[in-house]
Amino acid sequence: MRLALLATILAAASVYAQTPVNPNTVPTCVQSCSVKGAKAAGCINPLQTDCVCNEPGHSVFLNEAANCLIDNCITEINAAVAIQSNLCAYGVDCQPPFTMCGTLCIDPSADTCVSGVPTRRGFGLAYCKPNEKACRVPTFGIQQKRAHQPANYEIYECIDVMTNLEACGGCPDEGGEDCSTIFGALDVACIRGRCVVAECEEGMKLHNGRCR
């Protein structure tokens, strides 16, 4: 059903102006879904045409972004398809506050440019909610498999470190505690950035917040 819907939309998208994409004019929901699609595809950002417009990233990007659009802002799909089509056909009209880094248009609030190479400050840092923190996610060698990614490529995810059970109080690689691994804890939660044990396993007692 979703594929049929997208096929219909592709035909309708031809009525939009065929011009380079100005990132400033992209609707907010389309931006968010594009970031989600780019992250799933392993692209630096949604404006990285060699990744989002070519395989293997293209299919992954489209599938993830389309599902996001259908679930969150279905009325924006026509515009999203037109934007993607124009991006791949005509490139980017990189207007402030966006800036060019080598051949890629980047968002300075989320990326930094080092000798013409874009580097992630955090994947979509600007898109994390105020109560969330951008935490690094292990790439497990993905950057070695995809030539379009620079060597210093990193992926981030937004985590609420005040309530997340596995990253309580901070990102996993920045001192956050995994409450689920506390010895002997039967009932535990992350409350205001601290692991709080409510109940211990049989035969153990709670002492100073830990099971003994």
pLDDT in tens, 172-200: 888 899 999 999 999 999 999 999 999 99
Q: Above 50 in pLDDT, residue 13?
A: no
Lowest model confidence (mean pLDDT) among 12-21, 128-137, 196-205 = 12-21
Q: Above 90 in pLDDT, residue 128?
A: no
- The predicted pLDDT at position 6 comes to 52
Distance of CA 171 to the CA centre of its chain: 16
189 SS3 class: strand
State the CB neighbour count (10 A cutoff) for residue 42.
Answer: 21
- The predicted pLDDT at position 202 comes to 92
Indicate the pTM of the whole model. Answer: 0.49
203 SS3 class: coil
Ordered alpha helix ranges (H), 13-137: 28-41, 49-52, 57-72, 77-90
